[in-house]
Amino acid sequence: MTEQTHRLLIGSCGWQHEGWQDSYYPADLPSEWRLGYYSNEFPLAVITEREQALETELPAEMDDCREDLWVLVNVPNDAGLESAVGLLQQLPRQGGVLLQVDPAAHSDPEAWLAQIAPRLNGYPLCIDPSSLLGEAWRDALRARSIGWSWNPHSDADGLALGPLAVIRLGGECSARQLREYMEAALAVSRPTRDVALVLDGQPPDVETLRQAKQIEELL
């Protein structure tokens, strides 16, 4: 594995977007070459359920990508955690887990986290909550040095916790807003913490991703 050299890991939520064909990807580019094409420009590959379903030879495809490509597996619920960790173990890259959680579904977050932690096999975890976290959740995550993502339903308080910080942006974002997110990300960046900025969308806007890279270079 190659040591991470990026201050921020910038990428889209997935890369197998049909909406990118002819607009981002060349019209004649085979779907199995999309990851290599995408990784020439962006240092973060976020694997969603769509990629897991479509990518039958992902480890081999990743061998042809940039050596410093970082992998974040987006897991919709804890039932898919073993599968995500197993996938990371197959891939010749540094990586982590972004686990989507409905805080209201767990009355005892500490007990739930105690069950989750051994299943990670040492990979860094960031919780991606579907609503604002209450104090019980915040205390439990702080006690285990696990951060939570700053997303459209959450706040930035979890960015400084743990080895993995994630900002997940939903849809369109102005240049001013993007700069604020980038400044917040850089403020918590450390040699011992990977900080990812992930753009959602149907499909994600490539120009926004490029703008994020430009802002990072200027800051």
Let me know: does 100 contact 126? Beta carbons within 8 Å. Answer: no
Put the strands of the sheet holding 164-169 in their side by side order. 9-12, 194-199, 164-169
Question: Which pLDDT belongs to residue 12?
Answer: 97
Q: Report the DSSP beta bridge partners of residue 169.
A: 199
- Helix H, strand E, coil C: the string for the chain is CCCCCCCCEEEEECCCCHHHECCCECCCCCHHHHHHHHHCCCCEEEECHHHHHHCCCHHHHHHCCCCCCEEEEEECCHHHHHHHHHHHHHCCCCEEEEEEECHHHCCCHHHHHHHHHHHHCCCCEEEEECCCCCHHHHHHHHHCCCEECECCCCCHHHCCCCCEEEEEECCCCCHHHHHHHHHHHHHCCECCEEEEEEECCCCCCHHHHHHHHHHHHHC
Domain for residue 54, yes or no?
Answer: yes
State the Cα–Cα distance between residues 16 and 31, nearest whole angstrom: 7
Domain for residue 96, yes or no?
Answer: yes
State the Cα–Cα distance between residues 204 and 171, nearest whole angstrom: 7
Q: How many domains does the chain have?
A: 1
> pLDDT tens digits, residue range 15-64?
999 999 999 999 999 999 999 999 999 999 999 999 988 888 899 999 88
Question: Which pLDDT belongs to residue 6?
Answer: 60
Question: Domain containing 204: what range?
Answer: 9-218
* pTM confidence score: 0.94
Asked if residue 2 has pLDDT above 80, the reply is: no
Q: How many CB atoms lie within 10 A of CB 23?
A: 10
Domain for residue 3, yes or no?
Answer: no
Domain for residue 154, yes or no?
Answer: yes
| Residues 6 or more apart whose Cβ sits within 8 Å of residue 64 | 36
Domain for residue 2, yes or no?
Answer: no
Domain for residue 1, yes or no?
Answer: no
Domain for residue 4, yes or no?
Answer: no
**Residue 199 CA to chain centroid, in angstroms?**
9
> pLDDT tens digits, residue range 149-184?
999 999 999 999 999 999 999 877 888 999 999 999
Kindly report the CATH number assigned to the domain that includes residue 154: 3.20.20.410
